[in-house]
Amino acid sequence: MTATDRLREPGLLTRQFASYPHAHRDRRNLTIHVTTQPLFVSSLAAALAGPWIVGWVAVPFGVFGMVLAMALQGRGHRLEARPPDPFRGPLDVVARIFAEQLVTFPRYVLTGGFARAWRESAKKGPT
């Protein structure tokens, strides 16, 4: 199966959301995610809309913000007892990052998963 075929598999968002609570239990990682996800989204907006609003200078700042957010989240994932599933290739990296930042993490927050993980992490301390 090629990387393109894997991306066409139904249920990327379903699979990602189902495994999300297992890879997001450490309070430090949760803190990193809740602060860097808005950075990623606003940086994406700057990179996409910036040229029409403030000029092309916004693009490198937007790209830098997205890379910074991903680097920090990657460091946060190292704090977890269970790391996220490995990437299957470059297209999987892109699909999973954008799905997580734009859909899965907001869904995790809005459905109460983040609050549950936060409360549970306070009981256990760092993993």
pLDDT digits (tens, 9 = 90+) for 43-101: 999 999 998 988 899 999 999 999 999 999 999 999 999 988 888 899 999 999 999 99
Pair 7, 92: CB distance under 8 Å: yes
Q: What pLDDT score was predicted for residue 5?
A: 57
Residue 110 belongs to some domain of the structure: yes
- Our count of domains for the chain comes to 1
Q: Is residue 7 part of a domain?
A: no
Region 27-43: mean pLDDT is 97
Residue 8 has pLDDT above 80, yes or no: no
Strand (E) or helix (H) holding 91: helix 90-99
Whether residue 28 lies inside any domain: the answer is yes
Look up the domain containing 23 and give its range.
19-124
Band the pLDDT of 6: cuts 50, 70, 90. Answer: low
Strand, helix or coil for residue 57: coil
User: Is 11 within a domain?
Assistant: no
List, as own/partner pairs, every contact residues 21-25 make where C-beta atoms lie below 8 angstroms and the sequence separation is at least 24, other chains included: 21/108, 21/113, 21/116, 21/117, 22/82, 23/77, 23/80, 23/82, 23/83, 23/84, 24/80, 24/108, 24/113, 24/114, 24/117, 25/80, 25/81, 25/82, 25/117, 25/120, 25/121, 25/124, 25/127
pTM of the entire structure?
0.84
In a domain, 9, yes or no: no
